[in-house]
Each structure stands twice: as C-alpha cells, then as structure tokens.
Amino acid sequence: MKHINWVLISVLIVGIALRFFGFPEIPFTYDELSTWVRTDYSRFSDLINKGVRTDGHPALIQVFLNYWRLIFGDSEAAFKLPFLIMGVASIYMVYLIGKKWFSETTGILSAAFVAVLQYTVMYSAIARPYMSGMFFSLMMVWYWTNYFFGERKRLHLILYIFFSVLCFYNHYFSLMFAGIVGLSGFVFVKRKNVLEYAIALILIAALFLPHIGISQDQFSMGGVGSWLAKPDESFFATYLSYIFNFSILLQITVVLLVALSFAMRDKEWKPKNKFRVLALLWFVLPIVIGYWYSVNRNPVLQYSVLIFSFPFLLLFLFSFYANLKILYQAGLVIVVLAMGTYSLIVDRMHFKIFYNQPIERLVKNAIDFEKEHHGKKTLVILKEPSRYMAYYLKKWNSNIDIKSWNDLKIESYFQFEKYVASQNADYMLCGEIPYDQLVIARNHYPYIMKSEKGLNYSFFALSKDSAEQKIIDFDFNAHTSFDQPGSFWDYNPVYVKFDSATGKNYYQMDSTQEYGPNFKAELFDFMKDRNNIMMVSIHVSNVKPDPGIVMVINFGEDSQPVYYQDRSFNYFFDTTVTQGNLVYAFTVRDFPFTHNNTPVKIFIWNRSRQNFRIDEMKLTMIIGNPYIYGSIEPVPYSKF
C-alpha cells in the first residue's frame, strides 16, 4: 500500500508542479479581469445586480471571489489560489472514484492524465467556474457513489446534496451534469429508499429557487450565443484531439493503453459494466445536449463547459484494468506523465503561450516602450477595456496614457485617419485594433520597430523614421505607383500622368473608364501562410463628395465569386476632404475558401464615371499570428 501511495504522490507532485509553475505571477486572462472588475462590492445587492446579473454564469464563484478579495486582496495569486488547490484536489478525487468503481490502476492512470493534460492544467490556473465545477462534480459523484454503493449513511446523502447545490450555483453546465447524475440514481435506488432519494433531489432543486430570477435575466441577455458560432460536425473529433493536447504521440499512447487494458483486464469485469455505462453516458450526454441546444436554439457549446464531465471519459477508457502490481502501475504512470508533460510543454507550448496573456503583455509592452523612448511622444491605442488595463498600470505603478479603442468611439475610417494625423506623435503603439485601422496606422507610421504575437493578441510598435525599422513583418508586398508595370498589376499606361509638383506618376480616372487599375493573381501566388493578414491600401486624390465609386475585393471568378466585398469611397471620405487612403484587411485563415488556390482580383469600380486620381496601390501580406487561438487549436497553426 505504501508503494502504491508513492505512485499516487508522484502523480500529485507532477500535477502540483505543472499548475503552480510561475506562481504567484501567473497573469490574469481576459475573463478573469472581467470577474475582477465585478468584485469589491460591500453591499450584497450591488454584488448581485452589478456583478452577477450582468454575467452569464450562476452566482457562486462571483460571490465567493467578491468576499475572498475583501480578505486576501485582488492579486493574481490571491484570485487563482483556490482554483489551483481545487485542480490538485481533482486529481486525487479522480483517483478515488476510479479505484472505487473499477480498480486502483484505473484510478491512478486516470489521475495521471488529469495531472498533465493542458485541459485540466490550464483551467486550474483560471479563476473562473470551470475547475471549481470539475471539483464540485467529482465530490458530488464521490458521495453519490458512497450513498448507493457503500455504506448507506445519511451523511453521504447530505454531502451529495451539498455538492450538487454547489454544482447548480457554479455553472449551468455543471448544473446540467448534476441533474444527469441525480436522475441516474433512480436506476440504482432501492424501493425502500426511493422517497428519501426523491426528497433529496427536490431539496437540491428547491435550494436553487432563489437564483431563478437571476437566471432568467441572464438568459434574456443572449450570453455567448451573441458571438459564439454554432458547432458543426467536426466539433466532436476536434474536441477529442484537444483533450489529448493535439498530440499524435499522446493519442497513440492512449490507444495503446486502452488496448493493453484488455490484456491486463480484471477477471471480474462484468459486474462493473454498470459503472462503464454511467461513465460513458455522463461524458457523452452533456456534449449531445449542448450540441443540440447550440445548433437549434442558442450557441453555448465550448470546450470549457465540458470539463465537468470530462474525467469520466478517462475512467471509461481505462476501466478494464485489474489491480496491477506496483512496478507495472509505476511503469504505466511514468509513460503517461512523461508523454503528457512533453506534449504540454513542447507540443502545446503551454508556458510560453498561456503565461503571456493579452492585456498583461500589451500594457507591459507599452510601459517598457515608453521608458525606452522617454521624452518622445508616443500614441498608444489598445483594443482593451480601460478598467482592465488599469489593473496592470496600477500593478506596475505606471501612469502612461493608453487610449482604449472602445473609448475613442471612432466610427468611420476618415475619423480615425484624422485622429491619427492630429496626434503628430513620434511613435504609435497598436494592440489588437481592427486590421483596417492598422493599415491606416501603418500608412502614417510605416516602419515596424517591434512586433509581438501571442494568445489572442498582436502588438506593433510603429515609427515614421525608416532608420528605426527593425522588423520586416511581411511575406509578400505588391506595390505600384505607376512608374512601371509590376507583377500582378494591370492598367492602361495611356492614363498614367506625371505630377511635376510631387515628381511622381499617378493614374487618371475619367468618364471614359468604368474600371481602373487592378491586381489579379491566384491566391497561392502571394499567400505564404494561412495566418497571413491581407492588407490593401489605395491612395486616391481629387475625389468629389459622394462620388459613387467603390473599391472591390473579389475572390473567385468574376461571374461566380466565392467572396465579394465592395466599399464605397464614402466610407473613407467626408465632404471636407478630397484625398486619402482606401483600406481593406482581413485574416486569411478566417475564411474557408482560402484553402483553395482561388483567383483574387482587387480594383476600382468607377460606377458614376467620375474624374479622380489614383496615386498608389499596394497589397501586403503581413506575417500573422500562429498563436492567436493557441489555447484551443494546434500550435503553431499549420500553414496550409
């Protein structure tokens, strides 16, 4: 027994090390800062109305963190510590349930996977209702199991009720999971205990009644369905890959371990089939229900909400193992810990990606840049809420001026163009501003001094001075100022004129021309990577108000486009200006048709046959961010 415990202790030590690495400086995620902003209320009514009703989750974690903050402060470490502890405790609870349901080998193998998978490691370090929900769910199942399959002590039933209520108040998916577990009990309850068990379930539901009004308000907001896409049939396969770190080696390890379990199976395996059915159903039903609801009602299905039932997949997969000797258990566990840790650190790049959160990194970059260029005027625009950024400004005792994109409330391209020009800064720092506006910024500050790309963020430090360019941040650059025809550009040289004032050529559009110069190529001629960001900028002048002219972006054949965008000149000019830049930008990877070598055409459509000048046209494919969705997809993201 002592040797077996040492195997378990080894699993727990690895689990603790992976979760607490970097503590206490593990940065807040965006959602954690959202939670932080909605704490620090002294009145409970304010906490409920301002901190809970405006969120999409039940009240438990928000209420807990509000009062936890009053006692222990609002540091990242203080917020995360309870969830890190519950993450470690969940490893142990998986072991206990696996041991009781099947065998000690099942428990120790399942616990080893929970210790090293990014799914459980990452959510242990996030102060949100995910790891707490997993822990509450495991505790609920533990006491549910002891009530039905152990000594039928009333204490087990009381503790089952307690943790079920915590599941109800933790998250709506942990509520659903608790409901599935509760209904499953009617399959096993003895006739003499039916009333007792039914009363327990009624009590669980009754204890949630005070929250019903809050839930109704939350559901009326729409929640994640307002931005989350509906899942498709690929969700299930992708989720399974995600669970096992998107690692082929780790997935092969799982398959081999499952195959090996049949060679080392428990001789008394048939009586345990009831637990196998439970484990499989408890894992599958939340996915199926969530998928159906997301497709037919409102999208809610994400990987995070399935973590509550996830451990039961592991218990099912390794459920046939007998109680193996200590050396065999140790050998299997070493393989799991080694493969899982390797895939976490190398394949998932967990500590590089997750430990560089967007708001922390964007603010830190801005602070460091200001220190390095003290005395120079720097325009800083980050697309993050001011209150979130204030957390890190306060943490690092900085008072630099950071403009929140949302607070600027710039509604049009020409307003942003005017705003950038009016600042007359030496440098411009951009973080996660829309790509169209990034094109405008780079027209004013064309030289890149620094570029940093990570999980859900991209940062650029831009300069007007070519001497300060330190980074070439593009894979492809096609430019024409009409001095000579270039690759992929097509125009009639008859209309090319020379401006003696500027010493540059320009292209004159007039009433005889419906279509102006164009860029035409196959996508794979200029797309080097699916993370590329396509940026188009066309400078025009002598434009009249409301000219009835559009810039066109067309993917596919002219007669059968697969993607078509036209943007009126009115988007870019008001009645006070006659010249400026037309811009368009998007991330190639966001569009499925870009998997094919699609024809691409960019041109000016002079629908109203106006006279104006085209001074310059350029298309640039800048190097994109392979880590932007690094927490939910393979990294770095594959090229094609």
In this prediction the pTM is 0.92
pLDDT confidence tier of residue 638, bands split at 50, 70 and 90: low
Task: State phi, psi for 53 to the nearest 5 degrees.
Answer: -60, -30
State pLDDT tens for residues 512-571: 999 999 999 999 999 988 899 999 999 999 998 878 899 999 999 888 889 999 999 888
pLDDT confidence tier of residue 1, bands split at 50, 70 and 90: very low
Contact 153, 111 (CB under 8 A): no
Given a cut of 60, whether residue 2 has pLDDT beyond it is no
Q: Which of 588, 604, 599, 603 is nearest to 640 (CA)?
A: 588
State pLDDT tens for residues 300-334: 999 999 999 999 999 999 999 999 999 999 999 99
For the chain, domain boundaries: 2-353, 357-471, 473-640
Cα dihedral across residues 538, 540, 545, 546: positive or negative = negative
Average pLDDT rounded to a whole number, residues 387-404? 96
Q: CA distances (Å), 265 to each of 102, 274, 336, 380, in order? A: 10, 16, 19, 62
How far apart CA 481 and CA 472 sit, in angstroms, is 21
Report the chain's mean pLDDT, rounded to a whole number: 93
Q: Which of 378, 584, 534, 400 is nearest to 468 (CA)?
A: 378
Contact 316, 254 (CB under 8 A): no
Q: Which of 290, 160, 315, 313 is nearest to 230 (CA)?
A: 290
| Pairing between β-strand 447-454 and β-strand 504-509 as defined by DSSP bridges | unpaired
Average pLDDT rounded to a whole number, residues 338-365? 96
Average pLDDT rounded to a whole number, residues 140-159? 93
How far apart CA 97 and CA 77 sit, in angstroms, is 30
Given a cut of 50, whether residue 142 has pLDDT beyond it is yes
Average pLDDT rounded to a whole number, residues 241-270? 94
DSSP-assigned beta bridge partners for residue 379: 428
Average pLDDT rounded to a whole number, residues 481-489? 83
Q: CATH number for 473-640: choose from 3.40.1130, 1.10.3470, 3.30.1560, 2.60.120.
A: 2.60.120
Query: What pLDDT sits at residue 559?
Result: 81
State pLDDT tens for residues 100-119: 999 999 999 999 999 999 99
How far apart CA 231 and CA 229 sit, in angstroms, is 6
The dihedral formed by the CA atoms of 108, 113, 119 and 124, expressed in degrees to the nearest 10: 40
* DSSP state letter for 464: S
pLDDT confidence tier of residue 268, bands split at 50, 70 and 90: confident
The dihedral formed by the CA atoms of 126, 128, 129 and 132, expressed in degrees to the nearest 10: 40
Tokens, residue 118: 């990014």
Query: What pLDDT sits at residue 283?
Result: 98
Given a cut of 60, whether residue 99 has pLDDT beyond it is yes
Average pLDDT rounded to a whole number, residues 574-601? 89
Tokens, residue 434: 């829309």
Share of the chain above pLDDT 90, in %: 79
Contact 522, 596 (CB under 8 A): no
DSSP-assigned beta bridge partners for residue 506: 497
How far apart CA 278 and CA 316 sit, in angstroms, is 9
Contact 61, 133 (CB under 8 A): no
